[in-house]
Amino acid sequence: MFLNYINKIISLFMTVFGTLGNMSVSVNYMFSWWGSPEKKPIHLILIHMAFTNILILLAKGLPKTILAFGLRNFLDDIGCKIIVYLERVARGLSICTSSLLTVVQAIIISPRGSGWRKLKPKSAWHILPFFSFFWILNALISTNLIHSIKSASINISQRINDDNYCYFMLENEKIKWVVLPLMVLRDAVFQGAMGGASGYMVFLLHKHHQQVLYLLNSKLLYRTPPELRAAQSVLLLMLCFVFFYWADCAFSLIISISSRDNNLMLNTREFLALGYATFSPFVLIHRDGLLVKFWHAQWEKLRKCL
């Protein structure tokens, strides 16, 4: 009982603070986007990632938060389908967007003479087709949920999942073995691209570090280019993503093969499922000083108006 209470408090905390953090990141980059003559593709990707994180937090964390206040079976059948479907789509979008962010950042910091440099987006608007593809891909992969999700308020003797408001019906085996390989293939392709791009950035940052050491030994003044500082922030984001993703997968596997339900394991998995969406914006806020820059810019504008 005590563990369930603590879990509800943690879900409420993560949902509220994660949503506020992602909104702060999104608003900051929107102002940077509209206020800067140069539309950076990275800013557009980070706005999309923040929006995706908000979707995850609202679809997964909000129902848990409402349950924490004692309101049971508040979703009807259609509401359940929408909430669970949006959460699955948003999780897929999170993987795709994080991969795109890593690949684009790796291309941006690649040497001018390399072949990767030719792939650099000439305009931020060239990123939009990728977003459309991600939405269509994940919407199609998740369509099986429309038929397999039901509200727990309907009095049917099915195994209710740990969310207590929706449950999964047994899927058709043919549909299951079409959707599951597609999800595995999607995750493998995008995480493979993410891993390759991250490794390439680590290599470039290592070369840059060697150059810095040489310049410092030569007593020459040197400043780290903003592109490389951004690459360091992206690598931290990817480490955060990989940790929460694989920890969630490991706990899901353990729970699925366990002979009995373990509340501690279920609660830990809930924490991991919301982890990346909650903490990733604060990685950016800490690394780039987003809130400080944002409020300083707003203060300067206000002072000029006065």
Among 111-120, 248-257, 258-267, the range scoring the smallest mean pLDDT is: 258-267
Question: In sequence order, which residues have a C-beta less than 8 Å from that of residue 208 and are 6 or more positions away?
Answer: 224, 228
Q: Is 86 exposed, middle or buried (0-12, 13-18, 19+ CB in 10 A)?
A: middle
Instruction: Residue 73: name the closest of 82, 86, 63, 83 by CA.
Output: 63
The CATH number corresponding to 2-305 among 1.20.1070.10, 1.10.1660.10, 3.60.21.10, 1.10.238.10 equals 1.20.1070.10
**The predicted structure's pLDDT at residue 112:** 77
Q: Which of 50-54, 250-254, 298-302 has the lowest mean pLDDT?
A: 298-302
pLDDT (0 to 100) of residue 153: 60
- Quote the pLDDT of residue 289: 64
Residue 268 has pLDDT above 90, yes or no: no
> Residues of the chain with pLDDT > 90: what percent?
26
Percentage of the chain with pLDDT > 70?
74
Buried b / exposed e along 266-299 (16+ C-beta atoms within 10 A): bbbbbbbbbbbbbbbbbbbbeebebeeebeeeee
Helix 41-56 crosses helix 77-109 at what angle (to 10 degrees)? 150
CA dist 278 and 272 (Å) reads 10
pTM given for the model = 0.84
Q: 102-116, 145-159, 187-201 — which one is most confidently predicted on average? A: 187-201
pLDDT of 298 = 56
Residue 123 has a pLDDT of 76
Q: What are phi and psi of 167, to 5 degrees?
A: -140, 160
The 10s digit of each residue's pLDDT in 11-22 is 888 888 999 999
- How many residues are there in the chain? 306
Kindly indicate the confidence band of residue 304, based on its pLDDT and cuts at 50, 70 and 90: low
pLDDT tens readout for residues 216-245: 555 554 555 667 777 888 899 999 999 999
Question: How deeply is 194 buried, as exposed, middle or buried, from its count of CB atoms within 10 A (0-12, 13-18, 19+)?
Answer: buried
Which pLDDT score, from 0 to 100, does residue 243 have?
A: 93
pLDDT of residue 133: 95
Q: Which residue has the tokens 């980059």?
A: 29
Mean pLDDT of the chain: 79
State the pLDDT at residue 163.
47
Choose between 142 and 95: higher pLDDT.
95
Paired residues of 149 in beta bridges:
168
Q: Which of 156-160, 213-217, 297-301 has the lowest mean pLDDT?
A: 156-160
In the predicted model, is pLDDT for residue 41 greater than 50?
Answer: yes
Greater confidence (95 vs 294) lies with 95
Look up residue 106 and give its two tokens.
Answer: 């790796």
